[in-house]
Amino acid sequence: MSVLVVSSGLGSPKTKSLLLAREAERVLVADGTPVTLLDLRELTLPLCGTQESFTHPHTARALELVAAADAILLCTPIYNYDANAVAKNFIELTGKGWENKVVGFLCAAGGEKSFMSVMPLANSLMLDFRCVIVPRFVYATGSAFAADGAIAHPDIAGRIAQCARATAQLGAAVKALLQ
């Protein structure tokens, strides 16, 4: 059972999505769960639909990582009441690789009011690819982070650990069911 943690924040030098991703990765590593962290700032993907988008070597790498995972934790900024376009583009490019995967969400947002923003994406993953959506997600605003990037809010740190572990446990259960 392995978990792919994806960070789709492109903010430089710091993206809070990546801070969430690193904390989830830390929890899973400490638990002994096999985990891979994909920082999408380091794997620039073509826009889905452009001529080379499905033959691009970075698309092949993204597909390989998605295919190898049983569960995926998507750490995304909230833009315009939705996951950001980078997250959506990543899913569009790797489409069928998501079939039957367990998916958890960790969101970095500017304000409190976009709490339900990942639901359209969750719905599409359920309907398109029969993903099992973890019914527990993380929603963190700026106040959750210390200046050095540490997770400063104990509530958010607890939620990241719960979400990461629930994703790994459900991933193992779904993998066993599919065998």
Ligand X SMILES: Cc1cc2nc3c(=O)[nH]c(=O)nc-3n(C[C@H](O)[C@H](O)[C@H](O)COP(=O)(O)O)c2cc1C
Give the nearer residue to ligand X in terms of CB position, either 97 or 159: 159
- Is 49 a binding residue for ligand X by CB under 6 A? The answer is no
Q: Which stretch binds ligand X (CB under 6 A): 52-60, 79-87, 150-158, 168-176?
A: 79-87
Q: Which residues from 7-26 bind ligand X, rule CB under 6 A?
A: 9, 11, 15-17
* Beta strand 71-79 pairing with 82-83: antiparallel
- Is 108 a binding residue for ligand X by CB under 6 A? The answer is yes
Question: What DSSP assignment string belongs to 132-160?
Answer: EEPS--EEE-GGGB-TTS-B--HHHHHHH
Q: Which stretch binds ligand X (CB under 6 A): 35-43, 63-71, 109-117, 148-156?
A: 109-117
CB of 59 to ligand X, least distance (A): 22
In 24-129, at which residue ranges do the beta strands (DSSP E only) sit? 35-39, 71-79, 82-83, 102-108
Among 36, 114, 162, 169, binds ligand X (CB under 6 A): 114
**Cα gap 49→59, rounded to integer Å:** 12
**Cα gap 168→146, rounded to integer Å:** 27
Segment (H or E) for 3: strand 3-7
Among 32, 111, 135, 154, binds ligand X (CB under 6 A): 111
Residues that bind ligand X (CB under 6 A): 9, 11, 15-17, 77-81, 108-111, 114
